Amino acid sequence: MKKFVNKPEDFVPEFMQGILAANPDLLEGNLEFQMVKRKDRPVDNKVSIVQGSGSGHEPAHVMAVGPGMLDGACQGPVFAAPPVDACYETIKALATPAGVLVLVNNYQGDRMAWDTAVELAQAEDIKVDQFLINDDVAVKDSLYTVGRRGVAGNFFVMKACGAAAEEGKSLDEVKAVAEKVNNNVRTMGVALTSCIPPAKGSPIFDIGDDEMEVGVGIHGEPGRERAKITSADEITKTLFDAVADDLPFENGDRVALMVNGLGGTPPAELYVLYNKAAQLCEERGLTVVRNYVGEYCTSLEMAGASITLLKLDGELETYLDAPAETAARIF
Amino acid sequence: MKKFVNKPEDFVPEFMQGILAANPDLLEGNLEFQMVKRKDRPVDNKVSIVQGSGSGHEPAHVMAVGPGMLDGACQGPVFAAPPVDACYETIKALATPAGVLVLVNNYQGDRMAWDTAVELAQAEDIKVDQFLINDDVAVKDSLYTVGRRGVAGNFFVMKACGAAAEEGKSLDEVKAVAEKVNNNVRTMGVALTSCIPPAKGSPIFDIGDDEMEVGVGIHGEPGRERAKITSADEITKTLFDAVADDLPFENGDRVALMVNGLGGTPPAELYVLYNKAAQLCEERGLTVVRNYVGEYCTSLEMAGASITLLKLDGELETYLDAPAETAARIF
Amino acid sequence: MATISLSTIEQGIDTTADTVIRNESYFSDLDGLAGDGDFGTSLATGFKVIKKDLPDLDKSDIGTMLLKISMIVSKHVGGSSGPIWGTGFMKAAMPTKGKSELTLQEFADAIGNAVDGIMARGGAKLGDKTLLDAVIPVAEKLKDHAEKGTEDLAEVLKDCATIADGAVETTRSLVAHRGRASQVGERSANTPDPGIVAIATILADWCKANSVEYTPAAPEVAKASA
Amino acid sequence: MATISLSTIEQGIDTTADTVIRNESYFSDLDGLAGDGDFGTSLATGFKVIKKDLPDLDKSDIGTMLLKISMIVSKHVGGSSGPIWGTGFMKAAMPTKGKSELTLQEFADAIGNAVDGIMARGGAKLGDKTLLDAVIPVAEKLKDHAEKGTEDLAEVLKDCATIADGAVETTRSLVAHRGRASQVGERSANTPDPGIVAIATILADWCKANSVEYTPAAPEVAKASA
Ligand SMILES: Nc1ncnc2c1ncn2[C@@H]1O[C@H](COP(=O)(O)OP(=O)(O)O)[C@@H](O)[C@H]1O
Ligand SMILES: Nc1ncnc2c1ncn2[C@@H]1O[C@H](COP(=O)(O)OP(=O)(O)O)[C@@H](O)[C@H]1O
Ligand SMILES: [Mg+2]
Ligand SMILES: [Mg+2]
Ligand SMILES: [Mg+2]
Ligand SMILES: [Mg+2]
């Protein structure tokens, strides 16, 4: 297992302690519940935005806490929803008269944990609502399944809701923002390699030297197909078309374009993909107003990437422009 | 080769085009010479800071161009210094009456290319000087070799010089800043896996499943020793002690602490290392004033990390605090 | 009349913990086939705490003990398994509060209550290829025996183990409709559901612990059973 | 007196291009042993352009042709090899400007000038385990032959190939003092220097191209030579 890890069971608490140690002014944590929150939140007249999901997706979730983004987040074990108590304590820690909005990525584990936690909190008269994010186009939506997965598009939901909450919008208004973003954001990813959850100690799936998993989930879930690796341009086109056809995005749309690295893919390769994706936007008549190239939602050390498109309007552009700060930073 | 790549020979120009496409307001490029520069530079009364090195280290070099950082950069093929002409054209493109400072990482290829380019530019009466960065403690310095390598500490030299130049400092003054940073910065890295240069198509070195290369260079150069992989804490201590003993850093010092990912290591693991490194700082009585956890100088998709310490004083702290913006960004 | 004592249930839980802890990586591997490979670890994390805390848990009555176990699960078990098993224990705790032994009918009612709770929490029903495909028929078989007035608990246990074991086979070819595995569509067909394997293994191990002879039929259960 | 024509030099450069292009990955592999594995690619990148442009290059005289080649190298070759080979060609171009054929003495002088330029550029000297360990003795041998007035160029070429080939062995056990390999300390001992191998291979291939019988001794040169 080629990883920096001490005892596998300490991996998640230790990296969270690292995040807290690196951001003493911004963040405070509660190790018992694997929770991270803004030091200066909650405040009475602002809606708190929270999230909690399995870990292994950093900087998603606990590293996305900060002004203009999440007010708090908790994390479960690698790739597993947080325990119910963690969700409940997170809601409680960020409770305000303005309310708490929980942004739930659409996985059954997360949903059940947050459903339970929200019920518990509401029973204690905490004002709290939740919203489901499901931007992954890889897998068909269906009434007979849990439905589409929430993946890197989550970033845009957090960003827009964070900005709307900072503006002082009400719980219902912020939830409407979440809905607008989610309705307009689509993602698909591809994996070139598997990843190794520290507790498992072995790859989460087998994949041949010349194979890729198209439409992979961020927990290594199978996607649309197992295919031979092709050129970067062809891969980009496959992902991009799946994403752009889904909404669909149309000539004249203003968009945000994200190329997200899954953890093991270095910046240079992501820009090779971005280069092609930007061309494909142009071919479809989509104007890229903002772009995001880097790691936003990883799958441990998986080599791979996802492409996300968000259709913008004036309101959403304002939210993306708004200042924000998280534990993921450069300077 | 599990990489996003079209034709291997197009890898470097294509990712550079991606960087340019993603930053149309900030940057302009010259593909013939693999050069990237700030759109709004040079200006007459400011020293221009430039750099050029092999590619494959992103966001180092061409992605480090922007306000408060580099004014321009050129890149060579993966892991090879840029051709002489590229260096010369970069100096010329950023030439100003205030002068150009070239920050050269101490590799013979870079040195020779820049020496030649600087001579050519000076022959044309361009005001230009250069400074050598050599922060890697892995390999003993010696009169009989090219000397210590320049690695992730380069970030701090660029940041401080960028800030000093923005302040309007003279060429000599900015060079003195570079010297101060370089005298006070030390780095050592470790690799868990090799990387695959696209043109080579195979790993740059062989390494066993349970092995790591301690003191690895960012081009896969061998380091201090090939050892069995140990726990994250032990690895951190090995790197940290090598770095901290070298200057040496002493009780009471104020420092910047960087945990740099080599490309294939995801954020969560870097924070496991940071967690321990921060503890080790505390044990030595070092106050971490600023910290940096992420990818600053990669080695393609190599799994691994380096630890950098920079001893601060009031002046350097001001430079690190100064605003900066590059193609590597989050929001 | 056949009754089930607190200590029998306590012993059953202890046996369950052993089963789950021993199979941590195997259950995760099974989950990796169509899911995300965390089932074994998630469950084991909770049952390690349960195993450790069980001797000193508040055992005033069966319901209290089960509620405490539910609380451990809520605090320590992540993934879908946390809410599913936590809800299961919590709902089983409700009708058993204040009781230090249960008739077979009361036991069947508690399991039935747990099943209802899990269905309400996760929205799964029979045939969705979740552990409910093992637990629902087991709950019904318990009700049958209770209504028939079966005295031989060994017979009851063996019947339950057989039913759960059989569910591994009967659901194997299905496409999952709930859980992470449901998000991979057709690709979940022809893999066993790890939750069903876990329930069947637990029951097989209960047989062993109570000297009830039972030989698992599903290869996964045979492999996982002590 | 033995003279070397522009077209002989042109053909030598063409042969060199073939050698370098064919060994792109082998030379890189050798560089990977103690260096950074880019030597073959760096050099081949430039020689691909040279190979393509050579027929149409300005060949007014030898110096002009060599200067154009130096410019191609400066534009296209990265790594240490860019300045080293670029300087070499540029310095060889200087004394050969205006000449369309060279005496052996003039040829020796041109190579000597290249050696001096490379030494000044990179600071390496004999024994630092760089290609100079092949080129310096070759330059000296050329001078000797020129002074002796050797007429048989085949003999001269074979001598040069032998010397360069021998340098692979004599330097193998040394620790590199220049280049990337110098930054790994003791670990560069017992690996052949790729630059020396390249020079020896080029000379061995020149022998072949000129029907001079020569069998390389160093296994790396034997492997790399056409
Ligand atoms: N909605 C549900 N109701 C009951 N059991 C379920 C449900 N969804 C999944 N399961 C069971 O849980 C198991 C998976 O648990 P776990 O791996 O913890 O969940 P996750 O899908 O969140 O990773 C499945 O094998 C299945 O038997
Ligand atoms: N200072 C020097 N002078 C002459 N030749 C050198 C010098 N340094 C290195 N070389 C030669 O160049 C070769 C390596 O070239 P290359 O791989 O392009 O350089 P780099 O070390 O920059 O990767 C070495 O094998 C050696 O023969
Ligand atoms: Mg899970
Ligand atoms: Mg090189
Ligand atoms: Mg699972
Ligand atoms: Mg090299």
| Count of structural domains, chain B | 2
Alpha carbon of D43 to ligand 6 centroid (Å): 10
* Cα B327–chain centre separation: 15
Indicate yes or no: CB of A324 within 8 angstroms of CB of B331.
yes
Residue of C nearest to A9 (CA): C45
Residue contact D121–B112, C-beta within 8 A: yes
User: Does residue A38 sit in the same domain as residue A157?
Assistant: yes
Contact C36/A85, CB-based, under 8 Å?
no
C37 in contact with A, Cβ within 8 Å:
yes
Say whether residue A229 is in contact with chain C using an 8 A CB cutoff. Answer: no
Residues in chain B with CB shorter than 8 Å from the CB of A310 are none
How many distinct helices (H) and strands (E) make up chain A?
8, 12
Give the model confidence (pLDDT) of A224-254 as tens digits: 999 999 999 999 999 999 999 999 999 999 9
Nearest to A83 among C77, C182, C187 (CB): C77
Q: Are residues B205 and B132 in the same domain?
A: no
Phi and psi of B208, rounded to 5°?
Answer: -70, 160
Q: Are residues A13 and A162 in the same domain?
A: yes
- Contact by Cβ (8 Å): D218, D133: no
Residues of B in contact with A193 (CB under 8 A): 2
Q: Look up B61 and say whether it is catalytic.
A: no
Does one domain contain both B199 and B162? no
Asked if the model's pLDDT at residue C26 lies above 90, the reply is yes
Q: Provide the pLDDT confidence category of residue C183 given band limits of 50, 70 and 90.
A: low
Confidence label for D79 from pLDDT (cuts 50, 70 and 90):
very high
Q: Are residues B138 and B157 in the same domain?
A: yes
pLDDT of residue C184: 67
pLDDT in the model for residue B142: 65
Closest Cβ opposite residue A139 in set C79, C84, C183: C183
B101 & B206 share domain? no
Final residue belonging to a domain, choices A183, A199, A214: A183
At B147 the pLDDT is 86
Indicate which ligand has the atom closest to the C-alpha of C220: 1
pLDDT confidence tier of residue C21, bands split at 50, 70 and 90: very high
What backbone torsions phi and psi does residue B58 show, to the nearest 5 degrees?
-55, 140
CATH homologous superfamily, domain C3-225: DhaL domain (1.25.40.340)
Contacts 24+ apart (CB under 8 A), C114-119: C114/C87, C114/C88, C114/C89, C114/C139, C115/C88, C115/C139, C116/C91, C117/C87, C117/C88, C117/C90, C117/C91, C118/C84, C118/C87, C118/C88, C118/C91
Which residues, by Cβ under 5 Å, contact ligand 3, an ion? Answer: A 80; C 36, 38, 79
B155 and B217 both lie in a single domain: no
Which of B158, B183, B208 is at the close of a domain? B183
Q: Is the pLDDT of residue B273 over 70?
A: yes
**B217: DSSP letter:** -
Closest chain C residue to A136, measured at CA: C183
Q: Is the peptide bond before A248 cis (omega within 30 degrees of 0)?
A: yes
pLDDT value at residue D59: 95
Ion ligand 5: protein residues whose beta carbon lies under 5 Å: C 31, 35-36, 38-39, 180
Closest CA to C121 of C170, C80, C159: C80
Task: Kindly state whether B294 is in contact with chain D, defined as any CB-CB distance less than 8 angstroms.
Answer: no
Q: Is C38 on the interface with A (CB under 8 A)?
A: yes
Residues A206 and A98 in one domain: no
Where does ligand 2 bind, in terms of residues with CB under 6 Å?
B 80-81, 108-109; D 31, 35-36, 38-39, 42, 79-81, 84, 118, 122-124, 130-132, 178-180, 193-196
**Searching chain A, which residue's CA lies closest to the CA of residue B321?**
A331
The mean pLDDT of B236-241, rounded to a whole number, is: 98
A82 reaches C (C-beta below 8 A)? yes
Q: C169 is written with which tokens?
A: 């086979």
Angle, CA of A224, A228 and A230, to the nearest 5°: 100
- Residues of A catalogued as catalytic: 57, 219
Question: How sure is the predictor about D183, in pLDDT bands with cuts at 50, 70 and 90?
Answer: low
Per-residue pLDDT tens over the stretch A79-135: 999 999 999 999 999 999 999 999 999 999 999 999 999 999 999 999 999 999 999
Distance, CA of B189 to CA of B197 (rounded, Å):
19
- Is A3 close to B269, i.e. CB distance below 8 A? yes
Give the tokens for residue A223.
Answer: 């996607």
The set of protein residues with a Cβ atom below 6 angstroms from ligand 1 is A 80-81, 108-109; C 31, 35-36, 38-39, 42, 79-81, 84, 118, 122-124, 130-132, 178-180, 193-196
pLDDT at C225 over 70: yes
> Tell me, what's the pLDDT at D44?
96
Q: Which residues of B touch D83 (CB under 8 A)?
A: 84, 109, 112-113, 115-116
DSSP per-residue string spanning D39-59: HHHHHHHHHHHHHHHGGGS--
Q: What gap in Å lies between CA B93 and CA A246, rounded to an integer?
A: 45
Q: Is the model's pLDDT at B178 over the cut of 70?
A: yes
Place A142 in a pLDDT band, splitting at 50, 70 and 90: low
A144 band by pLDDT with thresholds 50, 70 and 90: low
B79 secondary structure, DSSP code = T
> How many residue contacts between A and C have a Cβ separation below 8 Å?
131
pLDDT in tens, B275-315: 999 999 999 999 999 999 999 999 999 999 999 999 999 99
Q: What is the pLDDT of residue D190?
A: 87
Ligand nearest to the CA of C86: 1
- Tell whether B74 and B208 lie within a shared domain: no
| Cα–Cα distance measured from residue B159 to residue A140, given in angstroms and rounded to the nearest whole number | 47
Task: State chain C's mean pLDDT as an integer.
Answer: 94
In this prediction, residue C37 has a pLDDT band, given cuts at 50, 70 and 90, of confident
**Residues linked to residue A15 through DSSP beta bridges, in sequence order:** none
The count of other CB atoms within 10 Å of the CB of residue B323 is 9
Res C182: pLDDT:
72
Contact A128, A174 (CB under 8 A): no
pTM: 0.94
Question: Complex ipTM above 0.90?
Answer: yes
Within a domain: residue A321? no
Q: Which residues of B touch A192 (CB under 8 A)?
A: 2-4
Statement: residue B204 has pLDDT above 70: yes
Work out the minimum CA distance from B168 to partner chain D, whole angstroms: 33
Chains adjacent to D (≥3 CB pairs closer than 8 angstroms) = B
Instruction: Report pLDDT for B8.
Output: 94
A114 and A221 together in one domain: no
* pLDDT for the residue B145: 73
Question: Looking at the complex, does the CB of residue B70 fall below 8 Å from at least one CB of chain D?
Answer: no
Q: pLDDT tens for residues A157-197?
A: 999 999 999 999 999 999 999 999 999 999 999 999 999 99
Q: Residue A222: what pLDDT?
A: 83
Residues of B in contact with D82 (CB under 8 A): 81, 83-84, 109, 112-113
Q: Are residues A199 and A179 in the same domain?
A: no
| Residue-level pLDDT at D186 | 73
Confidence of residue B169 (pLDDT cuts 50, 70, 90): very high
Domain boundaries, chain D: 3-225
Query: Whole-number mean pLDDT of chain B?
Result: 96
Domain co-membership, B105 together with B220: no
Closest CA to A62 of A34, A43, A95, A88: A34
Closest ligand relative to D37 C-alpha: 6
* Nearest Cα residue in chain A from B213: A2
Task: State yes or no: chains B and C have 3 or more CB pairs below 8 A.
Answer: no
Interface contact D34-B82, CB threshold 8 A = no
Backbone φ, ψ for residue A149 (5° rounding): -80, 155
User: Could you tell me if A11 lies within 8 Å of chain C, comparing CB atoms?
Assistant: no
Q: Which of B141, B160, B183 is the last residue of a domain?
A: B183
Lowest pLDDT segment from A155-159, A182-186, C30-34, C216-220: C30-34
Neighbours of chain A (3+ CB pairs under 8 A): B, C
- Chain A residue numbers with beta carbons less than 8 Å from the beta carbon of B15 are 267-269, 271-272, 275
pLDDT tops 90 at residue C89: yes
Chain A CA closest to residue B21: A275
| Residue of B18, B294, B320 with shortest CB distance to A330 | B294
Is the confidence at residue A314, as pLDDT, over 70?
yes
Q: Is the pLDDT of residue B152 over 70?
A: yes
Tell me if D82 and B113 make a contact (CB, 8 A cut-off).
Answer: yes
Mean pLDDT, range A322-328, rounded to an integer: 97
| Domain of residue B17, residue span | 8-183
CB proximity A329 to C under 8 Å: no
The whole-angstrom distance between B331's CA and the closest CA on chain D is 34
Residue B228 is part of a domain; what is its CATH number? 3.30.1180.20
Top mutation candidate among D31, D118, D130, D199 for ligand 2, by most atoms within 8 Å of CB = D130
pLDDT at D182: 72
> pLDDT tens digits for C116-144?
999 999 999 999 999 999 999 999 999 99
